[in-house]
Structure 1
Amino acid sequence: MNTLTVNDIQIECEVRGSGEPVLFISPVLADGFVPLVTEPALTGRRRLIRYHKRGWGGSTHTSGPVTVADHATDAIALLDRLGVTRAHVAGHSSGAAVAAQLAQDHPDRIATVALLELSLLSVPAGEGFFAQAAPAFEAYADGDAERALGLFMSVVSGMHWERCRTLLETRVPGSVAQTVKDADTFFGVELPALTEWRFGPDHAAAIRQPVLSVLGRNTQRLWVEVAEFLRSTVPDIEERVIDGVGHLLHIERPQPVADALAQFLDRHPITS
Structure 2
Amino acid sequence: MAAATAPDGEGSATPPGGDGTGADAVPSGVRADGAALGARARGEGIPLLLVPTTAAAEHLDPLARQPRLAGTARILRYRRRGYGASPPAPRPGSLVREAADALAVLDACGTGSAHVLGDSFSVAIALELALAHPGRVRGLVLVEPPPLLAPGAEHFLAANRELLDLHESLGPVAALEALQDKVAGPHWREDLDAVVPGMSERILLDAPTVFAVDIPALLAWTLPAERAAALSCPVLHIEGEAHGPLFATVGDWLRGLLPQTRTAVIPGAGHDVAFTHPAQVAAEIAGFLTQAAPR
Unmatched 5+ stretches in structure 2: 1-17, 19-24
Of residues 29, 46, 53, the one that matches 1:20 is 46
Following the alignment from structure 2 to structure 1, what is the Cα–Cα distance between the partners of residues 213 and 202? 16
Shift of 1:131: 3.6
Following the alignment from structure 2 to structure 1, what is the Cα–Cα distance between the partners of residues 78 and 57? 8
TM-score, L = length of structure 2: 0.84
The farther-off stretch of 243-252 and 43-52 is 43-52
Following the alignment from structure 2 to structure 1, what is the Cα–Cα distance between the partners of residues 113 and 137? 6
> For 1:101-112, what aligned pairs fall within 5 Å after superposition?
101-112=128-139
Shift of 1:178: 1.4
Q: Percent same amino acid among aligned pairs?
A: 31
In structure 1, the residue matched to 2:267 is 243
1:205–1:235 Cα contact (<8 Å) kept: no
Which amino acid in structure 2 is aligned with residue 205 of structure 1?
A: A
CA gap 1:134/1:110 in 2 versus in 1, 3 angstroms: closer
For residues 128-154 of structure 1, the C-alpha deviation after alignment (integer angstroms, 9 at most, x for no partner) is: 134445654344223443332122234
In structure 1, the residue matched to 2:142 is 115
Shift of 1:168: 1.8
Of residues 246, 251, 254, the one that matches 2:278 is 254
Following the alignment from structure 2 to structure 1, what is the Cα–Cα distance between the partners of residues 290 and 264? 15
Following the alignment from structure 2 to structure 1, what is the Cα–Cα distance between the partners of residues 291 and 160? 38
Of residues 241, 250, 256, the one that matches 1:232 is 256
Of residues 57, 66, 76, the one that matches 2:103 is 76
CA gap 1:204/1:223 in 2 versus in 1, 3 angstroms: farther
RMSD (Å), alpha carbons: 1.9
Following the alignment from structure 2 to structure 1, what is the Cα–Cα distance between the partners of residues 294 and 134? 13
In structure 2, the residue matched to 1:38 is 65
The farther-off stretch of 206-215 and 61-70 is 61-70
Shift of 1:107: 0.9
The farther-off stretch of 142-151 and 226-235 is 142-151
Following the alignment from structure 2 to structure 1, what is the Cα–Cα distance between the partners of residues 139 and 74? 15
Following the alignment from structure 1 to structure 2, what is the Cα–Cα distance between the partners of residues 167 and 224? 25
2:92–2:217 Cα contact (<8 Å) kept: yes
The farther-off stretch of 46-55 and 137-146 is 137-146
> For 1:150-189, what aligned pairs fall within 5 Å after superposition?
150-155=177-182, 157=183, 159-162=184-187, 164-189=188-213
2:78–2:105 Cα contact (<8 Å) kept: no
TM-score, L = length of structure 1: 0.91
2:75 is the alignment partner of 1:51: no
2:93–2:214 Cα contact (<8 Å) kept: yes
2:118 is the alignment partner of 1:91: yes
CA gap 1:85/1:73 in 2 versus in 1, 3 angstroms: same
Following the alignment from structure 1 to structure 2, what is the Cα–Cα distance between the partners of residues 84 and 127? 39
2:46–2:289 Cα contact (<8 Å) kept: no
Following the alignment from structure 2 to structure 1, what is the Cα–Cα distance between the partners of residues 234 and 246? 23
Which amino acid in structure 2 is aligned with residue 226 of structure 1?
A: V
Following the alignment from structure 1 to structure 2, what is the Cα–Cα distance between the partners of residues 113 and 179? 26
In structure 1, the residue matched to 2:4 is none
Unmatched 5+ stretches in structure 1: none
For residues 46-71 of structure 1, the C-alpha deviation after alignment (integer angstroms, 9 at most, x for no partner) is: 21011111222211114322311111
2:138–2:233 Cα contact (<8 Å) kept: yes
In structure 2, the residue matched to 1:5 is 31
Following the alignment from structure 2 to structure 1, what is the Cα–Cα distance between the partners of residues 253 and 229? 11
Shift of 1:174: 1.9
Shift of 1:100: 0.8
